[in-house]
Chain A
């Protein structure tokens, strides 16, 4: 299974809050699968502070477990003065507005922030590439567009949860 994950060692993996909701609590099969893929690839999930807040803070079970086990880390949001990051977030925001039929100012800032963060990481820190994980399709498209517009398609990839742990339907999902 590990061979078809998009991860490779030393990559920076930026993770949106919805991924942690999608995998559920640490006792869930999907949580365990996600953790084992991340650990086997030797990567660390980087969670923006804002995301930590949305997950209920660093003491929330699913966050605490990941932090304690060393496969997740808290990072800061991109600086509001970083031109490249701001431009990338704006592109993402425009795409999300378009995809969801909303006015641009209606788009949640946090939905676009990962685009800016990805650009900042690849420019300043990362050597082996950046992977962004989000379970929101409009946000995924927004980040992809920002990455394309700024010419980073070779080094930044965007994935949903399915790309990491496969289709979830084989898990014992409780239907009723």
Chain B
């Protein structure tokens, strides 16, 4: 039997499955009304994956919230009009909740997660944070430009294993098929996403079930601009 793994493309997608995955794609899941109910969720993730600047605002609200728009402007160094534009879009997408009963308005966001076990594809706030960093980190921007988001997720997993002492950076390079230079560069560039995700992404263990507690990363308590409230659901 041909393994599905043979068809996994470097970007994490797959060309085709041998047969329809009947165990999850049953009649219930394929009812038009069920698909319609789930439609906004897919739309949401597509928006986040394609728009790193918007994703950056979402992740900031998700991790640092509740926050007010002026805090977002200052922390992310974006203009007032851009901030309000993005917040409006995130509210429309159902990703951000706006509480208008206080002045200034308070924004919060629930963490979002998508797991597609057949590819497999895992998208958690840590992944979204990693891709949003391309807005401010030229190493991540270079990596995504060259290899795409799928490989960034692979690099994220490799970086986590590295900081847990389970792999060397040269092994990451071989495993994800990039140059050693690029692997070393991306491992360090992804450190902020791992350091914050470990404490604030409730789905962190989806990506790191084995090493979530073993990573040697900066302690957020000692970083002045780190999120401070406790939104750590499993903490």
Tell me if chain B binds chain A: yes
Minimum CB–CB distance from A64 to chain B (whole Å) comes to 15
Partner of A100, one of B60, B63, B168: B168
Using known A-B contacts A24-B188, A176-B196, determine if residue A168 contacts B218 with beta carbons closer than 8 Å.
Answer: yes
Inter-chain contact A176/B188, CB cutoff 8 Å? no
Inter-chain contact B168/A22, CB cutoff 8 Å? no
**Which residues of the partner chain A approach B170 to less than 8 Å between Cβ atoms?**
108, 110-111
Using known A-B contacts A169-B219, A176-B132, determine if residue A21 contacts B188 with beta carbons closer than 8 Å.
Answer: yes
**Which residues of the partner chain A approach B219 to less than 8 Å between Cβ atoms?**
167, 169
In A49-91, the 8 Å CB interface with B consists of 54-56
Inter-chain contact B174/A17, CB cutoff 8 Å? no
Interface size on A, residues (CB 8 A): 32
A173 to B224, CA, bound (A): 9
Inter-chain contact B218/A173, CB cutoff 8 Å? yes
Residue-wise, chain B 170-196 has the 8 Å CB interface mask toward A (1 for contact) of 110110000011001101100110011
Inter-chain contact A174/B137, CB cutoff 8 Å? yes
Residue-wise, chain B 201-235 has the 8 Å CB interface mask toward A (1 for contact) of 00000000000000010111011111000000000
A108 to B185, CA, bound (A): 17
Inter-chain contact A111/B171, CB cutoff 8 Å? yes
Inter-chain contact A100/B167, CB cutoff 8 Å? yes
**Which residues of the partner chain B approach A101 to less than 8 Å between Cβ atoms?**
166
Partner of A175, one of B169, B181, B192: B192
Determine whether A132 belongs to the interface, using a CB cutoff of 8 Å to chain B: no
Using known A-B contacts A55-B181, A56-B181, determine if residue A175 contacts B171 with beta carbons closer than 8 Å.
Answer: no
**Which residues of the partner chain B approach A110 to less than 8 Å between Cβ atoms?**
170, 180
Interface size class, chain B: 35 or more
Q: Which residue of A lies closest to B133 (CB)?
A: A176
Inter-chain contact B192/A18, CB cutoff 8 Å? no
Minimum CB–CB distance from A49 to chain B (whole Å) comes to 14
Minimum CB–CB distance from B63 to chain A (whole Å) comes to 8
In A148-173, the 8 Å CB interface with B consists of 167-170, 172-173
From A7-15, A37-45, A120-128, A135-143, the one touching the partner chain is A135-143
Inter-chain contact A17/B196, CB cutoff 8 Å? no
Q: Which residue of A lies closest to B135 (CB)?
A: A176
Determine whether A96 belongs to the interface, using a CB cutoff of 8 Å to chain B: yes
Inter-chain contact B169/A176, CB cutoff 8 Å? no
**Which residues of the partner chain B approach A136 to less than 8 Å between Cβ atoms?**
162, 168-169
Determine whether B155 belongs to the interface, using a CB cutoff of 8 Å to chain A: no
Minimum CB–CB distance from B201 to chain A (whole Å) comes to 13
Determine whether A99 belongs to the interface, using a CB cutoff of 8 Å to chain B: yes
**Most chain-B Cβ atoms within 10 A of its Cβ — which of A21, A54, A55?**
A21
Determine whether B198 belongs to the interface, using a CB cutoff of 8 Å to chain A: no
Determine whether A36 belongs to the interface, using a CB cutoff of 8 Å to chain B: no
Minimum CB–CB distance from A155 to chain B (whole Å) comes to 25
A99 to B22, CA, bound (A): 39
Minimum CB–CB distance from B133 to chain A (whole Å) comes to 7
Closest 5 CB pairs of A and B: A137-B165, A169-B218, A108-B170, A21-B184, A136-B168
- 13 contacts across the A-B interface (CB closer than 8 A): A21-B188, A54-B181, A96-B168, A106-B174, A108-B170, A108-B174, A110-B170, A111-B168, A111-B171, A175-B196, A175-B223, A176-B59, A176-B75
A residues with a Cβ closer than 8 A to B are: 17-18, 21-22, 24, 54-56, 96, 99-102, 106-108, 110-111, 135-139, 167-170, 172-176
Given contacts A21-B184, A137-B216, 13 further A-B contacts (CB under 8 A): A17-B180, A56-B181, A136-B162, A136-B168, A167-B218, A167-B219, A167-B222, A169-B218, A175-B223, A176-B56, A176-B59, A176-B136, A176-B196
B residues with a Cβ closer than 8 A to A are: 56, 59-60, 63, 75-76, 129, 132-133, 136-137, 162, 165-171, 173-174, 180-181, 184-185, 187-188, 191-192, 195-196, 216, 218-220, 222-226
